[in-house]
Chains A and B, each alone.
Chain A
Amino acid sequence: MTGLALSEKIMIGTALLGGMSGVIGSFAVLRGRSLVGDMLAHAALPGVCLAFLLLGTRNLLGLSLGALATGLLAVAAVTGIVRWTRTKEDAAIGIVLSTFFGAGVVLLSVIQKPGVGGNKAGLNGYLFGEPGNMLTGDLYLLAGVAFVVLMTVALFFKEFQLVCFDTDFAQSQGWPTLLLDLAIMAALALVTIVGLPIVGVILMAAMIILPAATARFWTNRLHVMLLLAGGFGIAAGLLGTQLGRNYPAGASIVLTGAAIFLFSLLFAPQRGMVSRLMTEFRLRRRIAREHLLRSLYELGESQLPELAELHLEQIVADRYWKPRTLERLLDIAVDSNWIKRTDQTIQLTPVGLRHAAELTKTHRLWELYLMQHADIAADHVDRDADEVEHLLPESLLLQLQQQLADEGRLPLIISEVPKSPHEIGTDNT
């Protein structure tokens, strides 16, 4: 690896970091511990400074051990505060995080004074991240940590999944839930700390949270989520360092990750906002269409089986339509061949009548049911039925119909399918 150019080292390093923080971040996010990564990162700063003061060099392994020491101290502090005082966890994390970070900034300024310590180049990089400082040895450390973390996740996938989903159940089966939890947190701590020199103390939390939160939009399976989160992390690392060559690397990596997140939030199937708005929009349009058809049926009901010729004003008056909405709905209905429209009149077609009759039947079934079983007054039932009937599955409607028929409130519906004109089961091709 000694032959690698700096830019190649940066690419490999950020990709490694992105991949492993995506994977382990998924567990942290699902366990509701995403802020622990943030706290570890901030609390690592005083450790880095102390290690530098002690060792006098900028050796990644040494500084990382320092970071790990104060990081763990911070975790212990939060646990203690929550356990022994009445401070809530989020407040405790906030307090510890900022206290340790404050101490780190003070130590950093001490180190900056002339005559203190050795070569301090790059120590500032821990604040905002500076992958340009990456040495070949650092790359080995990153690769080593990535290997350990990914192997741990691969080995304990089933156990981690169980403990994240249902700790009590896991414990009742005899799994050492505390140890498993600690293993996840330890892996998280490792990843956080080796990531500090690349994206920096302040932005490291985003590396943990963003790829995982992004992946959640695209899948409902945990193993797929881990793979996707790893992929998004790698993509953020590579693209971020490429696109943001003239800007601080940590920031451009995180912004790239945020861009992927934003895209997913908007455009992911099912969970994305666009898809959800579309679903909502389609539902509303269907409901409006159904209202129109039922309205047409009821206005012309007295003249059945003749198809009544209705006037626009009649229809508007029946449901207080907004003229524009109604015009659009009528256009759709004409296109679907449900109504015939002349300058003066609107008339259901036989196809439209069939649809409208079906919808009206559903509505009335519900009205009957609500009046009888939910004690809803007759003058309210129309609206209450409206709110549910459009969302009912077919099976429930059949059940409803059956129940009302059994109670004698509805003539039993006998299938109107005519007898088959040929023998059933014979091959007539």
Chain B
Amino acid sequence: MGTTAFEIHDMTVAYHRRPVLWDIDLQIPEGKLVGIVGPNGAGKTTLIKAALGLVPLASGKVEIYGQSYNQQRQIVGYVPQRESVDWDFPVTVRDVVLMGTYGQLGWFRRPGRVEREIADRCLQQVDMAPLANRQIRQLSGGQQQRVFLARALAQAARLYFLDEPFAGVDAATETAIVELLHTLRSTGKTVLVVHHDLQTVREYFDYVILLNMRLIACGPVESTFTQENLQKTYGGRLTLLDEAAEAMRIRESQ
């Protein structure tokens, strides 16, 4: 099956002692486009954040090309949810994309000509080059998403995590993102994408993670994205896990 790009071992994640992900165990081979699919509150975003070290793990570990995230963060790119930042912040489109190079730059060094060239190239890849000097507030939702994608491209990573890149974007941007995903795959990158639209899973991805607080299934789309697995993911909302978590939450808040 080739190299494993991303691996999670027995991972449990809890917010304020309330578990949101139980005992996740999965492996993603290199060069796949992976959809992370599941109902609201299934822990899709949490899975990504845990992988990036943004939320603490209650137990288990995450490995990127066989090593911990801290050792490998230079080869990981991240696209957070679009609503997670203030789009009235006083920066231009190019400024945001340049932030992708900060990780490589390290302390104190300012982005220079080389970094600006990288940023402009990444903007070209998402068809945003003419808007490089725009203030970010003057962008449409789809354009904002493209800026975030360009910033991740500027990270020059091998493994990408995209949190709902298709949420609230226009059709043209959706097509552009899909094309970009294909380009990334053809250069051997691995991309994990939180995705909401079940209709397009087969079309966009070749691997899928079905998630509902626990891992339902993880594997190639043809064999994994089945009616039966979807039933397990979306059906029976009040599973035992849900009830347990709810009980813990209520006890906490008393």
Task: Write the residues of chain A forming the contact surface with B, with a CB cutoff of 8 angstroms.
Answer: 30, 86, 155-159, 161-162, 164-166, 168-175, 216, 219-222, 224-225
**What is the chain B residue whose CB lies nearest that of A270?**
B135
Question: When chains A and B are docked, how far (Å) is the Cα of A266 from the Cα of B131?
Answer: 28
B17 close to chain A: CB less than 8 A: no
Pick from B54, B92, B103, B111: contact of A220, CB below 8 A. Answer: B92
For residue A183, give the distance in angstroms from its CB to the closest CB of chain B.
12
Question: When chains A and B are docked, how far (Å) is the Cα of A30 from the Cα of B107?
Answer: 22
Cβ contact within 8 Å between B84 and A30: no
Question: With A159-B107, A166-B84 in contact, is A172–B91 under 8 Å at CB?
Answer: no
Listed A/B pairs (16) with beta-carbon separation below 8 Å = A155-B108, A158-B108, A158-B110, A159-B102, A161-B95, A165-B86, A166-B84, A166-B85, A166-B99, A169-B151, A172-B73, A216-B90, A220-B91, A221-B91, A221-B95, A222-B95
Question: With A174-B70, A221-B90 in contact, is A165–B54 under 8 Å at CB?
Answer: no
Question: When chains A and B are docked, how far (Å) is the Cα of A130 from the Cα of B253?
Answer: 48
Question: With A155-B108, A166-B85 in contact, is A172–B90 under 8 Å at CB?
Answer: no
Cβ contact within 8 Å between B80 and A165: no
Pick from A155, A168, A219: contact of B49, CB below 8 A. Answer: A168
B66 close to chain A: CB less than 8 A: no
**What is the chain A residue whose CB lies nearest that of B73?**
A174
Residue numbers in A under 8 Å from B205 (CB-CB): none
Contact with A along B93-114 (1 / 0, CB 8 A): 0011001001101011111000
**What is the chain A residue whose CB lies nearest that of B89?**
A165
Cβ contact within 8 Å between B54 and A173: no
Cβ contact within 8 Å between B135 and A158: no
B201 close to chain A: CB less than 8 A: no
Cβ contact within 8 Å between A162 and B102: yes
Task: Write the residues of chain B forming the contact surface with A, with a CB cutoff of 8 angstroms.
Answer: 49, 52-54, 70, 73, 76, 78, 80, 84-86, 89-92, 95-96, 99, 102-103, 105, 107-111, 135, 137, 151, 155, 253
Cβ contact within 8 Å between B91 and A162: no
Cβ contact within 8 Å between A172 and B99: no
Residue numbers in B under 8 Å from A171 (CB-CB): 52-54
Pick from A173, A220, A221: contact of B102, CB below 8 A. Answer: A173
Residue numbers in A under 8 Å from B91 (CB-CB): 161, 165, 220-222
For residue B145, give the distance in angstroms from its CB to the closest CB of chain A.
14
A-B contact count (CB 8 A): 75
Residue numbers in B under 8 Å from A164 (CB-CB): 89
For residue B151, give the distance in angstroms from its CB to the closest CB of chain A.
8
For residue B111, give the distance in angstroms from its CB to the closest CB of chain A.
7
Residue numbers in A under 8 Å from B73 (CB-CB): 172-174
Question: When chains A and B are docked, how far (Å) is the Cα of A131 from the Cα of B100?
Answer: 46
Residue numbers in A under 8 Å from B109 (CB-CB): 158
**What is the chain A residue whose CB lies nearest that of B161?**
A172
Residue numbers in B under 8 Å from A158 (CB-CB): 102, 105, 108-111
**What is the chain A residue whose CB lies nearest that of B109?**
A158
Interface centre among B54, B84, B96, B102 (most CB of A within 10 A): B102
Question: When chains A and B are docked, how far (Å) is the Cα of A51 from the Cα of B54?
Answer: 41
Cβ contact within 8 Å between B76 and A172: yes
Cβ contact within 8 Å between A172 and B53: yes
10 other contacts beyond A86-B253, A169-B80, with CB at 8 A cut-off?
A155-B108, A162-B99, A165-B99, A168-B49, A169-B151, A171-B53, A172-B76, A221-B91, A221-B95, A222-B95
Cβ contact within 8 Å between A169 and B90: no
Closest 5 CB pairs of A and B: A173-B103, A220-B135, A172-B52, A172-B78, A166-B85
For residue B148, give the distance in angstroms from its CB to the closest CB of chain A.
9
**What is the chain A residue whose CB lies nearest that of B138?**
A220
For residue A232, give the distance in angstroms from its CB to the closest CB of chain B.
15
**What is the chain B residue whose CB lies nearest that of A177?**
B54
Question: When chains A and B are docked, how far (Å) is the Cα of A222 from the Cα of B135?
Answer: 11
Cβ contact within 8 Å between A169 and B89: no
For residue A44, give the distance in angstroms from its CB to the closest CB of chain B.
29
**What is the chain A residue whose CB lies nearest that of B136?**
A220
Question: When chains A and B are docked, how far (Å) is the Cα of A164 from the Cα of B85?
Answer: 9
For residue B86, give the distance in angstroms from its CB to the closest CB of chain A.
7
**What is the chain B residue whose CB lies nearest that of A220?**
B135
Residue numbers in B under 8 Å from A175 (CB-CB): 102
Question: When chains A and B are docked, how far (Å) is the Cα of A157 from the Cα of B85?
Answer: 19
Cβ contact within 8 Å between A165 and B85: yes
Residue numbers in B under 8 Å from A166 (CB-CB): 80, 84-85, 99
Question: When chains A and B are docked, how far (Å) is the Cα of A173 from the Cα of B69?
Answer: 10
Question: When chains A and B are docked, how far (Å) is the Cα of A168 from the Cα of B151?
Answer: 14
Residue numbers in B under 8 Å from A157 (CB-CB): 110
Residue numbers in B under 8 Å from A216 (CB-CB): 90
Question: With A171-B54, A172-B73 in contact, is A30–B99 under 8 Å at CB?
Answer: no
Residue numbers in A under 8 Å from B85 (CB-CB): 165-166
Question: When chains A and B are docked, how far (Å) is the Cα of A342 from the Cα of B45?
Answer: 70
Residue numbers in A under 8 Å from B86 (CB-CB): 30, 165
